[in-house]
Structures are given as structure tokens and as C-alpha cells.
Amino acid sequence: MNNNLDKKVIKKGLLPYLFLFIIMLGVFYGVNVFNKKVNDLTYNEFITKIDSGKVTKLNLVARGSGYVYEVSGTLKGYKDGETFEAILPLSESVMKKIVEASDEQDFKLEVSPDPESSSLLLILVNVLPIVLLVAVAFWFFNKQLAGNKSSMDFGKSRARLNSDNNKVTFKDVAGLKEEKEEVKELIDFLKNPKKFQKLGARIPKGVLLFGPPGTGKTLLAKAVAGEANVPFYFISGSDFVELFVGVGASRVRDMFQQAKRNAPCLIFIDEIDAVGRQRGTGLGGGHDEREQTLNQLLTEMDGFGANEGIIIIAATNRPDVLDPALLRPGRFDRQVTVNLPDVKGREEILGVHAKNKILADGVTLKNLAKRTPGFSGADLENLLNEAALLAVRRNKDEITMSEVDEATDRVLMGPAKVSHKYSENDRKLVAYHEAGHAVIGLKLRNASDVQKVTIIPRGSAGGYNMMVPSEEKLCSTKTDLLEEITGLLGGRTAEEIVFDEITTGAHNDFEKATKIARAMVTEYGMSDLGPLQFEQQAGSVFLGRDYNKSQHFSNEVANEIDMEMRKIINECHKDATNIIKKNRDLLKLIAESLLEYETLTKEQIDYLVENGKMPEEDEENLESMSITKLREIAKEKGIKNASKMNKAELLKELDV
């Protein structure tokens, strides 16, 4: 690298001298050109000069035409650089006169051949320009062809072959134990297909992986190819769809031809819903190019012979929009749901991503897994990465629980708005609002554990309350849902009781509570309307299909649904009001602690409930100190405007 740097320095140092040399060369030739003077003489003038003996030097050139001579030379009295030129007719008398004058006057006579008669010059002048023109045209054409190579191979497959450098095995896939068991027999078939053929077994031609984003569908498909040690072609569903009709179908045919030449192999189609959506749907009709591509894919999957060693794995987040013909036996025979990981799966995933991280002794993956319900594998990887970035930013040698907490908040709510200023009245409103949620969570029997309460604004929220279920459940009971709604209404209820006023801070709580109440009535049958399902689980609307669905209940039933929802919300609001009124002292204690510390952890909340006061401050841990104590330390260190800073700003100024 140093050698390359030295060469660059040398080149830069020589450039000024090279530029100066070119300028001097141009000046030299320019001076010579300007100093030269050429006089044109007529035939009679030349004869007069040669008869009078004034010629001192003469150069004779016979032109290729054969009819004239071109002469040049110098005369007596000429200055340096001054010459003459003349054109003479081809005549024996003229040549005789010149030769005799040369003998008598003894001037220098030179005879030169015609430069145009040279074969090399003829080639250079007449052939070389044509060759250069052809070469430039050929180079330009090749450049255009290389730049627009895709325009010449529209019908070629965009599937790429995975290299061995990025080999993934089941060791790299954590938290998907059952899903790995489902695809293990695919590996056995790819390794030893004759074992299955012997007993007449037909391996699934296609496996569809579906589930929420970030759960590891693509990683699982790569692990299958890595374990089987076979060629692995991967392509996105959108790579089939082009502007021109028929291109996608041609790419599908070419992809399967390549796969057959390299069988046994595996084809992975990511986001297959881009090409596999239901045919004949959509506002304004279908999509000819996409539907032709889907038809070709269906034909190829059902067309190649059994046990050819080609297995297709596809992944999607929207299995509900796929064409039914894709999901029938003979095509995607097996469907594997890749769900969000449970607490054990999250611990395994964290273990995979924590291999290259330096964690402090206080950070345990088991506790971190318990605090992250609902996180996908991608979320967990992002959490640890954010924690590592924070540790580097704070000049730490290891990742502590402080960075993990901050990273969790960042993933869930976004970065803290440290510079966001709001009045003391607003801080008090937010503190009592969040304290209301915390009190409900602490007092309800089936409520989630309160892990963290903060009034530091993040995203669109002025503060938030992190509550984690005490244990993960497969199904939620009616009591669980009612207590969840009650907890969501705790913030608004605290505002009503303490301030006798309501704010806009509970709009997101109402959105969640209303959604749960409507699902209880219309989907789960948890109301006086009985065990009836009036609506299906809400999802993204599939244009042209979901809009055409008719309503399966009357207007009277719709009114009853609204009444039942209102009844559920009102009952939960009454419960929240009773709980907060009975625990008004606890509400005030938590709110005042939030105003002082801005953030309370689970350990601090538990100590606060048990002892009625905050635990003693750790003099070595500034993050656990109150704002009052931090402001005192900041003033001692001479930090200006410390009394106007919030806790996050104080910690930043104190290099924490």
C-alpha cells in the first residue's frame, strides 16, 4: 500500500514539470514557425534568379502527376529561416538550365522523390483513417452492448447460484427447531434420492415458508442447501416481472432448464407473492405479464418428472393472496409456518448473534430473551448491534445492561428526543399518565409485569410503559383481554382523577383498546351476542377481492356490535377508575419518582412498592441517580445551565 502511495506522490510531483516541458516545446516550435519566411516565386522570377546567379541552394521534387516540379531553396541576401518556393513545368530545357547553372555557379542541388509516391505514406493517408473509423465504431458498439447486456437477454433467468463462500448450515439457524425438522427430509432426498425412489415415495416438489418478516425464512432455505451440499439458486419473485409480456415466462423456462442441468439442486424464490398472486383479481382487471409468468411457473412445477432432484422453496409474508393453484398437491405440497420465536428460541438466537460481542457480567441472554417478547430474529440481531454501537459511542470496552436497555427502547420506539423541551406541567401530565398504566399493571392479577416506565419522549410518544407477560401463552382468555384493555385505559383514567382534565396523549391506547374490544365481539365470540364470527381477522386489503366481499350481518347486528364494544370499554374504564382511586398514594409515589428520575426500572419499581421510597443512590452509577443529584454534580464540575437540562442531557455532559 505504501508503494502505491509513493507512486501516486511521484506522479503528482512529475505532473507540473511535464506540463512545463510541453509548454516550452510548444513555444520552441511556435517561435520556429513564426521565424520562418517562405517567398513564392513565379516561373519567370525563378528563371531570372537562376540566370543572375543568386541561387545558393536548391531542392528539386518531382510530383507524382509527372507534369510539374516543385523547387525550394535559398537566394543570396536571404536571412536565416527565409526560403523560396516555385512550381516548374516538366521540361528538358528547364532541367538542363538548372543542371548547367549548378555546375557553373556551384550551388547545392538536391533531388528528392515525391513523398506522395511512398507506399507507406499512401497506406497512412488513405487506409489508416478508414481502419481507425472502423475500430472506433467497433469499440463504441461493444461498449453499448456491454452496458445494455440485459437488453439482449430478456428471456434469460435472473436466478443466481449461491457460492460456497457463504455456506449456511443448521448451526447458523436458531430458534426454529420444528421448522428444521420439517425440511430435514428434503436434505436426505437431495443426498440420497434412490432411497426414496426404492420405496416409491414422492418427495414434496415445493415447500412454502410463510410467516412474519425477519423470522428466518430465507436463512432456513440457505441452510437446507448448505446441509445438502447441492447447487442453490435464489431469485426474487419480482425478477420475473418485466415491462414486456412474455419475458417472465421465458425466464421461468430458462431457470428450470438450468436447474435440470445441475440436478439435484434447490431453487429458492423469495417474496413469491410478487408473481404468485391470484389470477383475475385486482381493480381494473388482471395483469397479463404477471399472470402469464404464474401460468408458466405452474406448468413447470407440475411438468417436470417426479424425483428429478429439483426442489423449490418459496417464502412469503402474505400466503392469503397466493393463487390456489400454487398451493395444491403436486406443486407446493408442504407449507411450513415460521412463527416468531418463543422465549427459548429467542435465547438461542441471541446466543448466535452474541458470539462476536463482548457482554458484561450483568447481561444474561436468558433475562434478555424474557424481556423481548414479540421480537423476530432480525429484531434481536438489530438489538445487539445497536447495543454494541452505543457501547462504542460511550467509549466502553464491553456491552452493559445500560446499552441493552437503550437499544431495546430504540428498536421499539426510536431514539430518545434529548433536545425535546416541554414544560413542567406537560412533564407532570406525562408522569401521572404513565404512572396510571404502571399502577393498573401492578394491581391486576393477570396483568403483565411492569419492566420499565419512562417519561423521556421517543418517537411520537411523550413516554411509555414497557410491560412484559409473566409467562407466554398460546391463547388469551377473556379475563386476559379485559385486563389488557383496563391497563390501556389506566393513563387516561389517571389524568381524569388527578387533573380533572383529559389530554390527547391516550389516542394510541384507545386505538389498541378498541381493536381488542372489536375482535372480542366480532371474531372471538366473547360477548352477549354469542359464539358467532361476524368478521375475519383484519389484514392488508387485497384490492379487487376484499372490497367485493358482502357484509354477513344486518344493520341491527352492526348496532349491537357497537353497543357491545362500548359496554366492554365502559366496564374496563370503571375497573381502572376503582383501582387508581384505591391506590392514589402509589400513583403519586410513582409519578413523583418519574419526575425525579425520569426512568424507573423493574427493580426500582418493586423496591418503591415494597418500601415506599426509592433505593439509595449508587455514588458510582450516575445513571441511577436523580436529576437533583446529577445537577449538583454538574454544577460542581462547572457545567453551565445544568439546572435547565434533563437527565439525558446531564448524563451526556458528564460523559456517561
Active site residues: 434
Residue 68 DSSP class: E
List CB contacts of 387: < 8 A, sequence separation 6 or more. Answer: 357, 399, 403, 404, 406, 407
Could you give the 3-state DSSP secondary structure of residue 376? coil
- For the packed helices 555-582 and 478-488, what is the interaxial angle rounded to 10 degrees? 70
Residue 211 CB-half CA count within 13 A: 19
646 close to 418: Cβ distance less than 8 angstroms: yes
Of the chain, the end-to-end C-alpha distance in Å amounts to 39
Rounded-to-10 torsion of CA 512, 515, 520, 522? 180
Give the separation between CA 25 and CA 32, rounded to whole angstroms.
11
List CB contacts of 229: < 8 A, sequence separation 6 or more. Answer: 191
Give the separation between CA 280 and CA 446, rounded to whole angstroms.
48
- Helix (H), strand (E), coil (C) string for 525-569: CCCCCCCCCCCCCCCCCCCCCHHHCCCCCCHHHHHHHHHHHHHHH
DSSP 187-229: HHHHH-HHHHHHTT----SEEEEE-STTSSHHHHHHHHHHHHT
Give the separation between CA 82 and CA 177, rounded to whole angstroms.
99
DSSP 481-521: HHHHHHHHTHHHHHHHHHHS---GGGHHHHHHHHHHHHHHH
81 close to 36: Cβ distance less than 8 angstroms: yes
- Cell numbers 429484531: residue: 379
Give the separation between CA 72 and CA 609, rounded to whole angstroms.
117
* Nearest-5° Cα angle at 96, 91 to 100: 155
157 close to 251: Cβ distance less than 8 angstroms: yes
Give the separation between CA 264 and CA 629, rounded to whole angstroms.
69
Give the separation between CA 308 and CA 598, rounded to whole angstroms.
64
Give the separation between CA 493 and CA 68, rounded to whole angstroms.
116
